[in-house]
Amino acid sequence: MPNYAFLAIAIVAEVIGTSALKASEGFSNLLPSILVVVGYGVAFYCLSMTLRTLPVGIAYAVWSGAGIVLVSLLGWMLYGQKLDLWAMLGIGLIIAGVLILNLLSKSTVH
């Protein structure tokens, strides 16, 4: 499986785990708690597979940046959390950073 496919799976699994963390209510709800553990397990496994070919700094920057953006959007959609202008600007800058790393940087090539 290509390294970016593993990275995409890692990002989605981490977002599922993090989103379920709130619903787990301190690990007192069983199903969301299971999603947290499985989500993070899959995320870390796939991230480790990504690190076979991508530098750790680049892979982690993309993983965490994309995760921040997606979790923020899910928090807004699922939990009604507010995103003010500054939050949206910050999220936009994170997206710009991830795009710059992937489209312009030569650091992703060994």
Parse the chain into domains and list their residue ranges: 3-103
DSSP letter at 106 equals S
Give tens-digit pLDDT for 10-37: 999 999 999 999 899 999 999 999 999 9
Mention every residue, 6+ apart, whose C-beta is less than 8 A from residue 45. Answer: 10
The more confidently predicted of residues 49 and 107 is 49
CA angle 83, 72, 98 (to 5 degrees): 110
Residue 104 has pLDDT above 90, yes or no: no
CB 43 within 8 A of CB 17: yes
Stretch 94-107: mean pLDDT, rounded? Answer: 87
Question: Residue 66: its pLDDT value, please?
Answer: 94
Q: What is the pTM of this model?
A: 0.86
Question: Residue 109: its pLDDT value, please?
Answer: 60
